[in-house]
Amino acid sequence: MLKRISVHQLTLGMHLQEFCGSWMEHPFFRTSFVLKDPKDIETILRSSIKEVWIDCGKGLDVVNGEAAVSEAESEAQVEDELKQVADGQRQLAPVSAAQELERAAEICGRAKQAVVSMFEEVRMGNAVDVGGAKLLVEEISDSVSRNPGALISLARLKTADDYTYMHSVAVCAMMVALAKQLGLDQAQTRSAGLAGLLHDLGKAVMPMDVLNKPGRLTDDEFTVIKSHPVEGHKMLLGGVNVDPIAVEVCLHHHEKMDGSGYPDRLEGDQISLWARMGAVCDVYDAITSNRPYKSGWDPAESLRKMAEWTKGHFDPQVFQAFVKGMGIYPVGSLVRLSSGRIGVVIEQTSKSLTTPRVKVFFSTKSNMRIVPQLIDLSSPDTSEKIAAREDPAKWHFLDLNELWSGLPSAPW
C-alpha cells in the first residue's frame, strides 16, 4: 500500500517512495529509500517539501490513529498524481535567454551534485536509482522548453574537475533539444534525456588517474577508457526499471556510421537512432569544453569541424537537425560583423540560422573595447550581418563567457 503523508509524519524505518514536488525543491538525488538516518528527516523538514509518498509494504506505516492524506494501490497511480501536480506547476511559456539563465544556472548546480551522487552510489556497488534521474531530466527538459540555448550553453562552462559530471548534464539537455527538433513525442524526449544523463555512467569505475589525466592517453590507457560503455551497460542492466533507450545509448554512443567506432563496430543502419543522437551530442560537448589538456573549440568552429566528419562519423540527418536546433552560430560563438565590430552570440532567433542576437563589445577599426550593445540580426532595422567566425584564442577576451551569460564562468 502506498500512502501520501505529511513530512511531519515521517519516522525512521519508513520507505520513502516519492517526494511530492519539483526535483529542484527536494534535497536528495535518490527518490526511493528507507529512512535510516535522523539527519535525512531533518533535511526533509528544512526543505520546502510538504508531503511524500511512502510504501508501507517496504517499510513502516504511519502511527496508529494518524490518517494519511491519500492512498494508492500502485506506483502508476502515484506517478499519475505527481505528473498532474507537476504539470500544473510548470511554466513552460517561451522566455528569453536572459530570463532563463539564472534558473538554468541553479538547475546546473543541482544537477552536477545529483550526478556526483549517482556516480558515488555506483562506485560503492549500489544499483542505479533512475527515479532521481528521471526527475532531473524533467527539470532539464522544462528549461530547454522555456529557452533551448540557456542551459545547454551554461553546461558547456566546466572546470577540469567538473567535466565528467557536467558533461552528463550537457548531453542530457542536448538530447532533449535534439529529440524535440526531430519531432519525437514527449515520452521519447524524456527517454532521450535520460539516456544523455546516463550515457557515461561507466566512467564512474574508470581509474581516476586515467580519467583526469592532464595529457594525451597512452594506447593502454585509451583501451581502459574505451571500456566505459560496456561497464556502464552492465550497471544499467543491473538496475530496476531502467529505460531500454538509456541502456542502448550507454553502450553505443561511440559507434560511427562507417563502422570504425566501439565497442561493437556497428555501422549505418545497425546503429539505432538514439545512439546516433548520442554520438552527435557527446562529441559536440566534448570538443567545445575546456579539458585538462586542451581548450575547447569555439561553438561555431566546432560545428564546422563536425560537418567535415559527418560522412564517416555522424548520421547526416541527425546532425542537420542538431545544427538547426543549435544554430550555425551557437550561443557563445565569437563573430565579426560586417561593420568590423566583434561580438558574441547570446541567443538564436526564429527568422534564420544565420541571424542570431549578438552582443558587440569590440571595434577592429579602433582596436579597442566599446560599450557593449545588443544587436538583433534578424531585425529589419539592422543592415549588419555576420562576416566571419573569430577564434577566441586569437583575441584573449577573458570575460567572453560572462559577456554572453551575464554570469561568472561555471557559477555552480
The pLDDT of residue 23:
58
The pLDDT of residue 81:
61
Q: For residues 230 and 221, what is the distance between their CA atoms, to the nearest angstrom?
A: 16
Q: For residues 31 and 83, what is the distance between their CA atoms, to the nearest angstrom?
A: 15
Are residue 83 and residue 148 in the same domain, yes or no? no
The pLDDT of residue 407:
84
Name the helix (H) or strand (E) containing 231. Answer: helix 228-237
Provide, rounded to the nearest whole percent, the portion of the chain with pLDDT above 90.
63
Are residue 154 and residue 299 in the same domain, yes or no? yes
Are residue 374 and residue 288 in the same domain, yes or no? no
* Residue 37, phi then psi, degrees to nearest 5: -115, 125
Domain of 378 in residue numbering reads as 334-405
CATH number of the domain within which 320 lies? 1.10.3210.10
Q: Which of 326, 348, 370 is the last residue of a domain?
A: 326
pTM: 0.83
Average confidence score pLDDT of the chain: 90
Are residue 66 and residue 102 in the same domain, yes or no? no
The pLDDT of residue 90:
54
The pLDDT of residue 409:
64
Mean pLDDT of 234-254: 93
Q: For residues 281 and 275, what is the distance between their CA atoms, to the nearest angstrom?
A: 10
Mean pLDDT of 195-217: 92
The pLDDT of residue 73:
67
The pLDDT of residue 110:
86
Q: Which of 68, 89, 110 is the last residue of a domain?
A: 89
The DSSP bridge partners found for residue 4 are 53, 70
Are residue 282 and residue 140 in the same domain, yes or no? yes
Angle at alpha carbon of residue 369, lines to 368 and 374, rounded to 5°: 140
pLDDT tens digit sequence for 59-113? 999 988 788 888 876 666 666 665 655 554 455 678 989 899 999 999 998 889 8
Say if residues 70 and 116 touch (Cβ distance below 8 Å).
no
Q: What b/e readout covers 318-346, taking b as 16+ CB neighbours within 10 angstroms?
A: bbebbbebbbbbbbbbbbbbebebbbbbb
3-class DSSP assignment, residue 386: strand
Mean pLDDT of 303-332: 93
The reply to whether 220 falls in a domain is: yes
Domains: count for the chain = 3
Say if residues 385 and 377 touch (Cβ distance below 8 Å).
yes
Are residue 154 and residue 256 in the same domain, yes or no? yes
The reply to whether 411 falls in a domain is: no
Q: Are strands 334-337 and 386-389 parallel, antiparallel or unpaired?
A: antiparallel
Mean pLDDT of 47-62: 89
The secondary structure of residue 294, as a DSSP letter, is B
Are residue 221 and residue 306 in the same domain, yes or no? yes
The pLDDT of residue 82:
55
pLDDT tens digit sequence for 190-199? 999 999 999 9
Residue 286: CA count within 13 A, CB half-sphere: 11
Are residue 127 and residue 212 in the same domain, yes or no? yes
30, 36, 37, 41 alpha-carbon torsion, rounded to 10°: 70
Q: What secondary structure does DSSP assign to 68-135, as a single string?
A: PSEEESSHHHHHHHHHHHHHHH---S---HHHHHHHHHHHHHHHHHHHHHHHHHHHTTPPP-HHHHHH
Q: For residues 409 and 412, what is the distance between their CA atoms, to the nearest angstrom?
A: 9
Question: Which of 287, 321, 324, 325 lies closest to 306 in space, CA to CA?
Answer: 287
pLDDT tens digit sequence for 358-379? 999 999 999 999 999 999 999 9
Q: For residues 86 and 55, what is the distance between their CA atoms, to the nearest angstrom?
A: 21
Are residue 196 and residue 314 in the same domain, yes or no? yes
The pLDDT of residue 214:
83
The pLDDT of residue 244:
96
Q: Which of 89, 113, 146 is the last residue of a domain?
A: 89
Are residue 234 and residue 162 in the same domain, yes or no? yes
The reply to whether 311 falls in a domain is: yes
The reply to whether 410 falls in a domain is: no
pLDDT tens digit sequence for 130-161? 877 888 898 899 999 999 899 999 999 888 77
Are residue 212 and residue 73 in the same domain, yes or no? no
Cell readout for 287 is: 570538443
The reply to whether 183 falls in a domain is: yes
Assess whether pLDDT exceeds 60 at residue 384. Answer: yes
Q: Which residues, other chains included, contact 98 with Cβ-Cβ below 8 Å and sequence gap of 6+?
A: 406
> For residue 374, how far is the Cα from the chain centroid?
28
Are residue 101 and residue 78 in the same domain, yes or no? no
